[in-house]
């Protein structure tokens, strides 16, 4: 196993709240003990923890996850207190401080806030503190939420350039079919992030408490692979599971990256969950991006969609409507529409000025 120094570990709602019966403090202490031992070896670790909504439900006596946004936010506000208190008490036994980090999609979509979050997390890790990260459910809306903590954990992995993402769940790992429904389901011990069968194997419903399922874990592994991270999916209830993962002696699914680590700027671009508009490309522009690694020029754009400003993230779409890339655009939507399909040498005569000859420079573009 390669030498690894920095991990992101995510624990799900079904684990941390004992299927909704309240916080499982024994498991929290067990994970804390293991994390403390890992830190003593010189490792750095960020903990992404679900459970705020589920713990809030338990405290409020709610049996079913509410659908109304304001009720979810209220449950999160109540439950977050219990979650962070449980971790603080557990790590204090080892002389370790914890730090609560609540993130929203906007924190990672805005370049400056993204860099600030990265600096804060890296500083905390350098101080030997255990950051406990969760989505800020009390202020997010459906339109700007991560959707699940698997996605959040993958984005944090990219953010701090972690070596490994560990997704602790209530299953031993991944199967080619749902083992709860098919007795002959085959266990997947290892795979590569670009294996097209992964998403087929992962199809299935989520639990009653969490928003994620095995599919979100596969998608998280693909995101983590962009920064060169290995992803492990394992049973968080297994004794000493983190120690076993460190030794390489465990039952779980390992998803390996298949490409080198992207630059931090391109990781940020690839991690954007929302885009402000879409540029529809002709076949020539698609080839220029995919085969030659070129920039996107106005001449290759057939249609401009959306209302975006200069410097915002837009998607590049092929003639079949598939997103093939995304990047930071050099002109706003109105300007892009005026120069679409025209050579770069005509930009100044059309707009009255020329900022850049490219709509998106290749340094600001990531292929998907």
Express each pLDDT in 327-353 by its tens digit: 889 899 999 999 999 999 999 999 998
Q: Which pLDDT value is given to residue 1?
A: 45
Query: What CATH class is the domain 6-267?
Result: alpha beta
What are the boundaries of each domain within the chain?
6-267, 275-367
Q: Which pLDDT value is given to residue 210?
A: 42
Q: Which pLDDT value is given to residue 265?
A: 66
Q: Which pLDDT value is given to residue 301?
A: 97
Helix (H), strand (E), coil (C) string for the chain: CCCCCEEEEEECHHHHCCCCCCCCHHHHHHHHHHHHHHHHCCCEEEEEECCHHHHHHHHHCCCCCCCCHHHHHHHHHHHHHHHHHHHHHHHHCCCCCEEEEEECHHHHHCHHHHHHHHHHHHHHHHCCCEEEEEECCCCCCHHHCCCCHHHHHHHHHHHHCCCEEEEEECCCCEECCCCCCCCCCCEECEEECCCCHHHHHHCCCCCCCCCCCHHHHHHHHHHHHCCCCEEEEEECCCCCHHHHHHHCCCCEEEEECCCCCCCHHHHHHHCCCCCCEEEEECHHHHHHHHCCCCCECHHHEEEEEECCCCCCEEEEECCCCCEEEEEECCCCHHHHHHHCCCCHHHHHHHHCCCCCCCCECHHHEEEC
The CATH number, out of the four listed (2.30.40.10, 3.20.20.70, 3.20.20.30, 2.30.130.10), of the domain defined by the range 275-367? 2.30.130.10
Q: Which pLDDT value is given to residue 258?
A: 79
- For the entire predicted model, the pTM comes to 0.76
Q: Which pLDDT value is given to residue 129?
A: 96
User: Which residues in the chain land under pLDDT 70?
Assistant: 1-3, 19-20, 137-147, 204-212, 260, 262-265, 271-273
């Amino acid at each position: 196993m390669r030498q690894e120094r920095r991990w992101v570990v995510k624990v799900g709602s079904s684990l941390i709240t004992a299927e909704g019966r309240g916080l499982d403090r024994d498991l929290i202490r067990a994970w804390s003990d293991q994390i403390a031992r890992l830190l003593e070896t010189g490792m750095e670790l960020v903990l992404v923890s679900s459970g705020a909504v589920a713990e809030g439900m338990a405290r409020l006596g709610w049996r079913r996850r509410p659908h109304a946004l304001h009720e979810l936010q209220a449950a999160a506000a109540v439950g977050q207190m219990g979650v962070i208190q449980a971790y603080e008490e557990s790590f204090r036994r080892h002389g370790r401080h914890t730090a609560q980090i609540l993130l929203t999609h906007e924190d990672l979509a805005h370049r400056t806030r993204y860099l600030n979050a990265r600096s804060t997390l890296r500083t905390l890790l350098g101080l030997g503190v255990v950051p406990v990260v969760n989505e800020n459910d009390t202020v997010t809306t459906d339109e700007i939420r991560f959707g699940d903590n698997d996605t959040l954990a993958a984005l944090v992995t990219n953010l701090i350039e972690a070596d490994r993402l560990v997704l602790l769940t209530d299953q031993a790992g991944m199967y080619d079919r749902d083992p709860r429904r098919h007795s002959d389901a085959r266990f997947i011990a290892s795979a590569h992030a670009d294996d097209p069968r992964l998403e087929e194997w992962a199809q299935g419903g989520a639990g009653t408490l969490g928003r994620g399922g095995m599919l979100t874990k596969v998608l998280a592994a693909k995101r983590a692979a962009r920064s060169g991270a290995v992803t492990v999916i394992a049973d968080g209830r297994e004794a000493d599971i983190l120690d076993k993962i460190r030794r390489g002696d465990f039952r779980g699914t390992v998803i390996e990256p298949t490409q080198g680590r992207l630059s931090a700027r391109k990781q940020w671009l690839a991690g954007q969950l929302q885009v402000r508009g879409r540029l529809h490309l002709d076949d020539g522009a698609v080839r220029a991006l995919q085969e030659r690694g070129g920039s996107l020029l106005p001449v290759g754009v057939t249609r401009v969609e959306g209302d975006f400003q200069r410097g915002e993230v837009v998607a590049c779409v092929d003639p079949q409507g598939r997103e093939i890339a995304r990047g930071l655009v050099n002109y706003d939507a109105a300007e892009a529409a005026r120069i679409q399909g025209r050579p770069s040498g005509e930009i100044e005569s059309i707009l009255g000025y020329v900022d850049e000859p490219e709509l998106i420079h290749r340094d600001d573009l990531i292929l998907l």
